[in-house]
Amino acid sequence: MTVQTTSPERATGPDKPDRLSTWRRALDLVLSERVALLSVLLVVVVGYFYLLGRQGYLVAPYDTDYLASALETLVPLCLLALAELLVIVSGRGGIDLSVGSIVSLSGMAFGAMVGLWGWAVLPALLVTVVVGAALGAVNGLLVAYLGFPALIATLATYYAFGSVALLSHDNAPISTGPIQDAHSLTQAVSVPLLGDGFPDLPLQVATFLLPVAVVVYLVVNRTSYGRRLYAIGTNDIAARFANIEVRRSRFSAYVASGVLSAVVAVVTVAQFASARPDAGSVGSGMALPAITIAVLGGVAISGGIGRVAGVIIAALLVVWLNAGILLAFEGSDGSQFQLFALGALLVLSALLNAYSVRRGRGTG
């Protein structure tokens, strides 16, 4: 009869002598609690660039106005990173490589509705979200019900959706009048109540990012659906025994990813005053930075682990770091060093994840 001997529960027993100095304990905490670590890094980064700016090394001042305007890039990145959070947390190798293509395709749909058929923004937004959901449902069907590995399924839909987006308007952007007008959705506005002292924020932060982020946070942390998601990501066999509908929950994670991508599409169209068929494929595509931020934010690739707070702070870190890099370097050097920062951050955070898991602490 084998007796399972494991290390005792995480109890604060009297056995640990106070040899660890407070510094060491703080370091331990920061390394194991991802949110804490990211917050510290955020402060360090912002502080560093601010100082650089004060000493004149930067092309333009790294001040609150600049940081506020940089939030423009935060919105799409953060939303897509949250989409990846949902999908990766759902487990069984969950990932969504097709988010960029969904952005492109639903963006074209939005563009068609508002720019070609004269719809008002709100109904068009709602239908666009439905389109995103439908596209996400294709992924969900393939992964959750048909058993395709997520990497393959979303790679295929990345190609397929992207292709349809390019075909949809003869590979030409839609930039008609109503679309141009939609740009007003994303201009910088002053924050009410805080007035002039506080920098102007891009409107979409308040109208899109904040509400969506709050909803995602609540869904993930406070609803039964969120629990189910984490359960199936941790152990989908135990979840089945616990009477959780594994396939349906996993399916809906991909649908949610599609919805979030559709929201990003609308923001992007408004921001650039144009619905571009390749909106999601700029650079190496939108999926890559989204996944990077999710992993940086503490989402475990194996599933079941990941916090919304971590992802949001990670997104903020990346955005403000990139913003600082842009000012610190001349010309296109800046965008190049952004690549370096992104790659380095990813590798280092993954090494940290692996190290924490080995030490038995999880990824915080």
Partner 1 sequence: MTTTHPEGTARSSSGQPAILRLTAVEKRYGGVHALRGVDFELRTGEVHGVVGENGAGKSTLIKIIAGAEAADHGSIEIDGQPLAAGSTTSALGAGIATVYQEPQLFGELTVAENVFIGRELRRSGVVDRRAQRDRVLELLHRVGLDQGLVDVRVADLPVAEQQLVSIAKALSHDARILILDEPSAILTDREIETMFAAVRSLRDSGVAVIYISHRLDELAQITNRVTVLRDGSVVASRDTATLSVREVAELMVGHALESGTADRTAPEGEPVLQVERLTRQPKFYDVDLSIRPGEIVALYGLIGSGAGDVVRALFGIDPADSGVVRIAGKEVSLRSPADAVGHGISMLPANRKVQGVFGTKSIAFNISSGHLKMLSRWGIWVDRRRERDIAGDFIKQIRIKAPGPATRVDNLSGGNQQKVVLARQLVERPHIMLLEEPTQGVDVGAKDEIHRIIFELADAGAAVLVVSADLPEVQQLADRVLVVRGGTVTSEFHRGARAAELLAAAAGDAEPTGERSGR
Partner 2 sequence: MTAVTDVAPPRRRPVARAVEGQELALVAVLAVLWVALSLGTETFLTSSNLSDLLYSVAPVALVGIGMTAVIVTGGIDVSVGSGVAVVMVVVSKLIRDGGASLPEALLVALLIGLALGVVNGVLIAFGGIHPIIATFGTLNLYRFLALRLFENKQVTGVPDTFAGVGGGGAGETIGVPNAWWMTIVLAGLMWAYMRYWATGRHWYALGNDPAAARLAGIQVRRRLVAAYALTGLFVGLAGCVLIGSGGLVQQNAGTGLELQVIAAVVIGGTSILGGRGTVLGTLLGALLVGTVTSAITLLGWRSELTELFIGLFILVAVGVDLVRERRRRAR
Q: Which does 235 bind (CB under 5 to 8 A by kind): partner 2, partner 1, none?
A: partner 1
Q: With CB under 8 A as the rule, give the number of residues binding partner 2.
A: 48
Count of alpha carbons within 13 angstroms of residue 328, beta-carbon side: 19
**Helix or strand holding residue 202 (H, E):** strand 201-202
Closest to partner 1 by CB, 92 or 227: 227
Here the tokens at position 203 are 């409107």
Secondary structure class of 174 (helix, strand, coil): strand
Q: What residue type is assigned to position 341 of the chain?
A: A
Integer Cα distance of 111 and 114 in angstroms: 5
Dihedral Cα 245, 246, 249, 251, nearest 10 deg: -120
Fill in the per-residue mask, 10 to 39: x = in contact with partner 1 (CB under 8 A), - = not in contact.
Answer: xxx---------------------------
CB of 129 to partner 2, least distance (A): 23
CB of 204 to partner 2, least distance (A): 26
Q: Which does 147 bind (CB under 5 to 8 A by kind): partner 1, partner 2, none?
A: partner 2
208, 346, 363, 364: which one contacts partner 2 (CB under 8 A)?
346
Q: Which stretch binds partner 1 (CB under 8 A): 45-53, 113-121, 122-130, 219-227?
A: 219-227
Closest to partner 1 by CB, 70 or 239: 239
CB of 37 to partner 1, least distance (A): 19
Dihedral Cα 230, 288, 256, 247, nearest 10 deg: -50
Integer Cα distance of 240 and 359 in angstroms: 30
Q: Are 136 and 102 in contact (CB under 8 A)?
A: yes
Count of alpha carbons within 13 angstroms of residue 51, beta-carbon side: 6
Closest to partner 2 by CB, 47 or 283: 283
Q: Is 6 left (phi over 0), alpha (psi -120 to 50) or beta?
A: beta
Q: Which of residues 300-329 bind partner 1 (CB under 8 A)?
A: 304-305
CB of 85 to partner 2, least distance (A): 15
Integer Cα distance of 302 and 83 in angstroms: 16
Q: Which of residues 144-163 bind partner 2 (CB under 8 A)?
A: 146-149, 151-153, 155-163
Closest by Cα among 93, 353, 90 to 230: 90
Secondary structure class of 166 (helix, strand, coil): helix
Q: Which stretch binds partner 2 (CB under 8 A): 104-112, 187-195, 214-222, 336-344?
A: 336-344
CA angle 7, 9, 14 (to 5 degrees): 95
CB of 38 to partner 1, least distance (A): 20
Q: Are 258 and 139 in contact (CB under 8 A)?
A: yes
Fill in the per-residue mask, 220 to 249: x = in contact with partner 1 (CB under 8 A), - = not in contact.
Answer: --xxxxxxx-xx--xx-xxxxxxxxx----
Task: Check binding of 9 to partner 1 (CB under 8 A).
Answer: yes
CB of 257 to partner 2, least distance (A): 17
Q: Which does 216 bind (CB under 5 to 8 A by kind): partner 1, partner 2, none?
A: none
Integer Cα distance of 258 and 82 in angstroms: 11
DSSP string of 203-220, one letter each residue:
HHIIIIIHHHHHHHHHHH
Task: Check binding of 358 to partner 2 (CB under 8 A).
Answer: yes
CB of 153 to partner 1, least distance (A): 23
Integer Cα distance of 354 and 364 in angstroms: 12
Closest to partner 2 by CB, 92 or 227: 92
Residues lying near partner 1 in the complex (CB under 8 A)? 1-12, 222-228, 230-231, 234-235, 237-245, 304-305, 362
Residues lying near partner 2 in the complex (CB under 8 A)? 95, 142, 146-149, 151-153, 155-164, 166-167, 171, 284, 288, 291-292, 295, 301-302, 331-333, 336-337, 339-340, 342-344, 346-347, 350-351, 353-355, 357-358
